[in-house]
Each structure stands twice: as structure tokens, then as C-alpha cells.
Amino acid sequence: MYITPEKQNRRKFMGRMAASATGILILKPETVRAYQANSAVRLGLLGCGVRGTAVATSFARNTSARVVALADIFPDQLAKAASTFGALAASLGYSGPESKLQFRGAHAYQELAASDQLDAIQISTPPFFHVEHLEAAVAGGKHVYCEKPVGIDLPQTRRALAVSKRAEGEVSVDVGFQIRSAPPFVELVRRIHEGALGKLVSIDAHYYAPAIQYPERPAGMPHDELRLRNWNWDLTLSGDIIVEQDIHVVDICNWILQSHPTTAYATGARSVITHFGNNFDNYQVNYTYPNSVHVSLAAKQYGTNTSFDVSERVFGANGYSESPYSGPLRIIGDNAWEWKQETPLAPGGGQFAANGVFSDNLAQADSEKDKGFIESIVTGKFHNQIAMGVESARSAIMARMSARSGQLITWDQLMASHEQFDLGFDLNQFS
């Protein structure tokens, strides 16, 4: 297997961390830096793209956290983020990230993880790097907010579970399934778990999204850089649309059914998009869950003027539920119920946003998720959502494997898989 120099450097880094900071995962972080009820958690942003900037901004606006450090492989991304968070900090009455806490290049994540000037790291890098960056952050004694997915192949998910064991009780780790924190979804799932629908039979779900758009790149940009900057088009960097984006619906189904699928049969294709990438732009997945509950998931990511529509319809013996991102979220049947929004929504609620920011039924998803993560740090009641994130990642990987192989995939076959993605180029060229 091709071992890139950055992997070799990571191994050396991990060794240095273990040798120079023996016991860092034995001493609880709050014993190193005592948090007061209103103290500011010092947050470092790793990955200064559109989504990363949006989530870090949400942390700064909705919690006591302050964005004090930045890291990105590209200098222009880093400079843009420095300007953005400098202005944001000024508007909130404090100083922005200092230049000494702005790390650039292929090893920026290691410098961020090793810094003693921050408490937590938000990982918003391309999915291929999530687990490697999570491992470094936890080794550095940092609390972590990691975007989904937690791994894009089985070896990465196994590695993540090993990190989970080291993190348990020592640092807080949240995974970016913010829908699990959205009050309408929380209440709906609670009712389903309490039997509002009776015996569950099936779920009909969909995730219809426009194509991911990127700005026009300069002519002659090297292909490796083009892949990194347009990572959402790249199978290795993103894991494909089913693993990177549609996983939100997969995770909701796992949440509702309190399990993972036992089999998956999927189809998919690259039917519309024509850019240089190699992701599919549509998937059709048939999952079977325990107790013979069947889930049908349709997904697409193409078109520039199409609507954004995501929902799950859960059918049970006593009725069914509807849980769209935008529109009535309710139960129809013997135990009828509908979520009522207490505060008026801003105009344009429910519209798709490239940065992943929504209103309507997800209006409070990010803010509640942010508050929960920061509270876990301040109180010392640490979260560990890695295993949950791995289960949903594996469920999505299962569908990708089926669609690309043309075969039905069982959970046992998935767990025995040796499929491993390789970046295929040296990140050190961007140092």
C-alpha cells in the first residue's frame, strides 16, 4: 500500500506526542485549565472553507466559545478566514485569531493539535482526512467537533473507534449530525420511540439537492490542487454523495430505528453532471433493518435551479410521520401531532444554502448542537459520539459499495471489507 509522507510524518508526530506528553490523556482537560461557568472555550478551526466558516461563526455567536486559531492547507483560505473571524471577534468585543495561531500547509493540523493556546478543535476538512485529524486532535488533548462522516472506508472507521476508546472520559467529541439536536426532530423521534406509530414497518426517505458549485478555477491549476479545492466532486476526498451528504438521512433512519441496516441493495450513476470529478450524482437505496423494517432512500445532487428537498416518512401500524427540513413536521394517525414553531421564521425559510445553513425545522439545529458541545466541555460531562458517527458512516458506505459493485451487501460483508481509499498524491507539495 502506498504510504504518503504525510502519513509518515503523522506517525512521527504521534510518537512525539506520546513521548513528550505522557499522561496527557490521563489528566482530564479541566484539571489543566479550570473552566468557569462563563469562561470562553478557545476554539481552533481546522478547514476554513464555506461550511467550516459557517459552523465556527455559529459557535462564536451562540456560545461562549471564541475562535482563537485557524488552520488550512491553502494560504488564501487562511487569509480569508483571518479577515472573517477578525471582524467577527471585533463585533463581539474581543480580538481575533493572532498570526502565531494561524497555521498553513499540509501539517497545519499537527501544529493546531499541539498548541497549548486552545481547548477545542472544529474539524471541517474534506472527509478523507477526518479520522486522521481527529486522532491528532485527541492525542493533543483537545475536545473535538468533527463534521460527518467519521470515515470514508472501513479501515478509517476502525481507526476512529480506536480513537474513541482513548477519548472516552478524557475529552468531549461531537459529530456534526446537528439534526439530532433540532427540537422538532428530537420531539418526533421521542414520540416514535414511545410507540406513537405502533410497530414500525418502513421508511420512505429522500435527499434531493442541487449540484455542488465551486468558483471558476484559474486555467492550468495543478490537478491535485483542483481535487482538493473541489473536494466535494471527488470520490476519495468526499466518500461520494451518499457518504458525505445523504448520510444525514441515513443517520436519522438509524436514530429512529435504533440500529443499523443488515443489508443494502443500491443503484447509482453519474447521469447529469459533467465536471472532472468521479462522484455519482444519484443513488437509490433499499435497506433492510432488524425486525424486517425496510427503508427506501432516493438521493440526487445535480441541477442548479432545482429545489432542495429532504424528508423521511416513517410508516407504522398506527399511522405515519413526516419530517421534512421545511414544511409540516407531524404524525398522522391514531396519535396525531404536529410541531408548532413558537417564533416566526425569517423570509425564505427552508431554502438550500451552500454552507449548510437552514431555517424552518432546522432553525435551531446548529445553535442547539453548538451549545450542547460547549456545555459538555465547561461542565466536564464529556460527550463521545464517535461510535454513533461510525455506525452511520458504515451504513452509508454499505450503500456505496452496493451501488458501485452491483451486488447486495450485508453488514457482515461490509465488516469483512478490505476496501481502502488512497489519496494518490503527496500533500507535502502544499507545505
Using one digit for the tens of pLDDT, what is the confidence trace for 58-112?
A: 999 999 999 999 999 999 999 999 999 999 999 999 999 999 999 999 999 999 9
Per-residue pLDDT at 342: 61
Is residue 35 very low, low, confident or very high in pLDDT (cuts 50, 70, 90)? low
| Exposure string over 222-257, b if 16+ CB within 10 A, otherwise e | eeebbbbbbbbbbbbbbbbbbbbbbbbbbbbbbbbb
CA dihedral 107, 59, 53, 213 (to 10 degrees): 120
pLDDT tens sequence across 119-163: 999 999 999 999 999 999 999 999 999 999 999 999 999 999 999
Angle, nearest 10°, between helix axes 154-167 and 130-139?
20
Which of 100, 107, 98, 101 has the alpha carbon at shortest distance from 132? 107
Neighbours of 278 (CB within 10 A): 13
User: Is residue 25 predicted with pLDDT exceeding 70?
Assistant: no
Q: In what order do the strands lie in the sheet with 319-322?
A: 337-338, 330-333, 319-322, 309-316, 200-209, 293-301, 282-289, 263-269, 409-410
Residue 304 predicted with pLDDT over 70: yes
- Per cent of the chain over pLDDT 90 is 85
Mean pLDDT for the chain overall = 90
Q: Give the pLDDT confidence score for residue 305 in this predicted structure.
A: 82
Averaged over 228-252, what is the pLDDT? Answer: 98
* Measured distance CA(57)–CA(87) in Å, rounded: 11
Please give the pLDDT value at position 431.
87
Q: Going from the N-terminus, what domains does the chain have, and what CATH number goes with each? A: 5-178 (3.40.50.720), 180-357+386-415 (3.30.360.10)
pLDDT at position 16 over 90: no
Distance CA(53)–CA(97), nearest Å, equals: 13
Q: Is the pLDDT of residue 204 over 60?
A: yes
Cis peptide before 149 (omega within 30 of 0): yes
Give the chain as a 3 state SS string.
CCCCHHHHHHHHHHHHHHHHCCCCCCCCHHHHCCCCCCCCCEEEEECCCHHHHHHHHHHHHHCCCEEEEEEECCHHHHHHHHHHHHHHHHHHCCCCCCHHHEEECCCHHHHHHHCCCCCEEEECCCHHHHHHHHHHHHHCCCEEEECCCCCCCHHHHHHHHHHHHHHCCCCCEEECCHHHHCHHHHHHHHHHHCCCCCCEEEEEEEEEECCCCCCCCCCCCCHHHHHHHCHHHCHHHHCCHHHHCCHHHHHHHHHHHCCCCCEEEEEEECCCCCCCCCCCCEEEEEEEEHHHEEEEEEEEECCCCCCCEEEEEEEECCEEEECCCCCCCEEEECCCEECCCCCCCCCCCCCCCCCCCCCHHHCCHHHHHHHHHHHHHHHCCCCECHHHHHHHHHHHHHHHHHHHHCCCEEHHHHHCCCCCCCCCCCHHHHC
Instruction: Give bridge partners of residue 282 from the DSSP assignment.
Output: 269, 300
Sequence-distant (6+) residues with CB within 8 A of 242 are 250, 266, 268, 280, 283, 285, 299, 396, 399, 400, 403
